């Protein structure tokens, strides 16, 4: 007899990830409950769920970060599990603890694993103690201790806050005379952003790749990896495009990184889906951190493996064993994800929240679009600017790139400025096409903005506006008549 999953799952998030989780629930026959803020009252995820509950004002601190309020809503509506999505409360150890106290299952890792991995310093030590390579680095440092540590490591070094991510507070230091100011600045930023001024230093690799490994662990001692994702295309330490497999990772390196990722996760007592991140340079990989949640870019892994990661999360949270073994995992073809953001590339990626007046999502063979927006949607200024994730799959990297270009050219978003043309410019770049990537790819290619500007004038054949060819022909005819 199969063990029952859940009676109802509350999704403690919004937008595309809320809908993504609800789709998995619907296929599993599990009713869902949505939560929403004032800004999301008319959002698609609210209509998609079987029921929806208002939790507060537009600012996240008044709604999606209201832990106790969310848990109470789940309890009152009869939800016996909560999926946190990503962002907001997804990596807060207090969330699974509050769920457990209320008799609700948290679909994610246990609080103990989150705590073991939330400090980058503690996570580095855990990784090193379990045979996972780490870059040369220090423990917690103050300005006085930092100089000696940096000399021992060798310049350049990177100053990093221990308690947070997203690139906040990170500083590259090229020489000794820059170090004290960088330590003080980083500690101040860390205190403001994370409430923890602890910083450390590590060797700075100038042009590494950012490679991550998807792992899934159950509560029965089984752990597998689903291969790597290349996440080197970043802007201000934020990923904007990902692909799998990486152009630089061989089958042997994949196996070694996968084994290392599993060691790091299991050492922390990890259960459910998570991602172990590495920097990769000249064939060598070094532990970076663990993201104790579902990743934004998980769909490309699903695409090449055929494994529904969200469904697996739900089954594991319900006490089931993993439905597959490591030997069952295979990778077919190549997948690319492009994060379509409501940002203006020409104006230094300034967020551009506006009402969407026209929207036609890409379609056709090998194309998937995950989004929480559509025609008439308001893009609120209160949250992340992500509009959609455009995922393409091809038989190889060349076909995936061609398919991505075609899909981007079809995508219509009118209202807010978007990054669609910028992604097209990346795909046309010769270094990208040859797989010559690093985390400095954006900085090394300032011409991408100008190329994106040229491409922005292209009109999709699915645009409901006037055909520009007809407009041009009519204008030429009028000009000919006037000239006579």
Q: Are residues 279 and 250 in the same domain?
A: yes
The reply to whether 289 and 158 lie within a common domain is no
Please give the positions annotated as active site: 293
Number of domains composing the chain: 3
- Residue 325 maps to which CATH number? 3.30.470.20
Residue 200 CA to residue 432 CA, distance in Å, equals: 33
Structure token pair of residue 390: 């455009």
CA distances from 144 to 25, 261, 420 (A): 53, 34, 47
- For the domain that residue 154 is a member of, what is the CATH number? 3.30.1490.20
Enclosing domain of residue 341: 209-455
Do 423 and 367 fall within a single domain? yes
Q: Residue 479 falls within a domain, yes or no?
A: no
Residues 220 and 306 in one domain: yes
Domain assignment present for 121: no
Secondary structure class of 35 (helix, strand, coil): strand
Domain end call among 203, 234, 251: 203
Q: What does the pLDDT look like over 133-157, one tens digit per residue?
A: 999 999 998 888 889 999 999 999 9
Q: What is the model's pLDDT at position 165? A: 73
Structural domain includes residue 237? yes
Do the domain assignments include residue 117? Answer: no
DSSP state of 213: E
Q: Measuring CA to CA, which residue among 254, 226, 228, 217 is closest to residue 330?
A: 226
Q: Is residue 56 part of a domain?
A: yes
Residues 359 and 401 placed together within one structural domain of the fold: yes
**Beta-bridge partners for 350:** 344
Residue 464 lies in a domain: no
Same domain, residue pair 163 and 37: no
Asked if 221 and 335 sit in the same domain, the reply is yes
Domain co-membership, 194 together with 254: no
Domain shared by 215 and 146, yes or no:
no
In a domain, 112, yes or no: no
Does the pTM of the predicted model rise above 0.85? yes
Residues of the chain with pLDDT under 70: 1-3, 465-484
Q: Pairing relation of β-strands 272-281 and 284-291?
A: antiparallel
Which of 90, 107, 124 represents a domain boundary (last residue)? 107
Would 472 be classed as within a structural domain?
no
Same domain, 176 and 35: no
403 in the same domain as 262:
yes
Dihedral sign for Cα atoms in the order 181, 184, 190, 192: negative
CA distance 388 to 371: 4
Give helix 94-101 / helix 111-118 axis angle, nearest 10°. 170
Query: 24 by DSSP, 3-state: which?
Result: helix
CATH number for the domain including 22?
3.40.50.20
Residue from 156, 159, 153 nearest 140 by CA:
159
Do 163 and 101 lie in one domain? The reply is no
């Amino acid at each position: 007899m199969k063990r029952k999953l859940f009676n109802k799952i509350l999704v403690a998030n919004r937008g595309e990830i809320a809908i993504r989780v609800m789709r998995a629930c619907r296929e599993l026959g599990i009713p869902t409950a949505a939560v929403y803020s004032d800004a999301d009252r008319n959002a698609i995820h609210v209509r998609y769920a079987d029921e929806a509950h208002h939790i507060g004002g537009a600012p996240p601190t008044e709604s999606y970060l209201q832990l106790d309020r969310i848990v109470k809503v789940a309890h009152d509506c009869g939800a016996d599990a909560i999926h946190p999505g990503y962002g907001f409360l997804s990596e807060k150890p207090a969330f699974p603890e509050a769920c457990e106290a209320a008799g609700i299952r948290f679909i994610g890792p246990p609080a103990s694993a989150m705590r073991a991995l939330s400090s980058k310093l503690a996570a580095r030590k855990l990784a090193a103690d379990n045979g996972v390579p780490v870059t040369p680095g220090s423990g917690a440092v103050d300005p006085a201790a930092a100089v000696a540590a940096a000399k021992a490591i060798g310049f350049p070094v990177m100053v990093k806050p221990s308690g947070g991510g997203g690139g906040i507070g990170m500083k590259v230091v090229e020489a000794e005379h820059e170090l004290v100011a960088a330590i003080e600045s980083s500690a101040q930023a860390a205190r403001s952003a994370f409430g923890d001024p602890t910083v450390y230093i590590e060797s700075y690799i100038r042009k590494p790749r950012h490679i991550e490994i998807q792992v899934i662990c159950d509560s029965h001692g089984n752990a597998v990896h689903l291969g790597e994702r290349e996440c080197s295309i970043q802007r201000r330490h934020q990923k904007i495009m990902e692909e799998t497999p990486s152009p630089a990772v061989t089958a042997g390196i994949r196996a070694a990184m996968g084994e290392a990722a599993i060691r790091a996760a299991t050492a922390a007592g990890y259960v459910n889906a998570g991602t172990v991140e590495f920097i990769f340079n000249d064939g060598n990989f070094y532990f970076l951190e663990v993201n104790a949640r579902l990743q934004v870019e998980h769909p490309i892994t699903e695409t090449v493996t055929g494994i529904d990661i969200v469904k697996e999360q739900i089954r594991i949270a319900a006490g089931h064993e993993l439905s597959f073994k490591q030997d069952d995992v295979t990778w077919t073809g190549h997948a690319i994800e492009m994060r379509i953001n409501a940002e203006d590339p020409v104006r230094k990626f300034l967020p551009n929240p506006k009402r969407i007046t026209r929207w036609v999502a890409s379609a056709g063979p090998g194309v998937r679009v995950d989004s929480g927006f559509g025609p008439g949607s308001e893009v609120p200024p209160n949250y992340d600017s992500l509009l959609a994730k455009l995922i393409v799959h091809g038989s190889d990297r060349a076909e995936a790139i061609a398919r991505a270009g075609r899909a981007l050219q079809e995508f219509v978003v009118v209202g807010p400025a978007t990054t669609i043309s910028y992604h097209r410019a990346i795909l046309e770049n010769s270094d990208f096409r040859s797989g010559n990537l690093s985390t400095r790819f954006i900085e090394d290619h300032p011409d991408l903005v100008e190329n994106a500007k040229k491409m922005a004038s292209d009109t999709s054949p699915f645009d409901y506006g006037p055909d520009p060819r007809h407009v041009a022909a009519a204008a030429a005819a009028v000009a000919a008549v006037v000239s006579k």
